[in-house]
Amino acid sequence: MTALPDWMRPPRAEGWFAEDLDRLPEAPRHTELIDGALVFTVSPQRSWHGRVVTGLTLELMNQAPDGYEVECEMTIKLDRRNRPEPDLLVTTASLERDRTWFAPEDVTLVVEVVSPESEHRDTTVKLRKYAEAGVRHYWLVEDEAGQTVAHVYELDEPTRAYVPTGLCRGKLTVTVPFPITIDLDGLFPAKR
pTM of the model: 0.94
Task: Give residue 1's pLDDT.
Answer: 65
- Looking at residue 87, which CATH number applies to its domain? 3.90.1570.10
92 domain-assigned: yes
139 domain-assigned: yes
Check pLDDT > 70 for residue 192: no
Count CB atoms within 10 A of the CB of residue 28. 11
Position with higher pLDDT, 192 vs 113: 113
85 domain-assigned: yes
pLDDT tens profile 97-154: 999 999 999 999 999 999 999 999 999 999 999 999 999 999 999 999 999 999 999 9
Task: Give residue 120's pLDDT.
Answer: 96
How much of the chain exceeds pLDDT 90, in percent?
A: 84
The sheet that has 161-169: what strands, in order across it? 69-72, 88-91, 107-113, 137-144, 147-156, 161-169
87 domain-assigned: yes
163 domain-assigned: yes
pLDDT tier, 190 (very low <50, low <70, confident <90, very high otherwise): low
The parent domain of residue 143 ranges over 47-187
Domain tally, the chain: 1
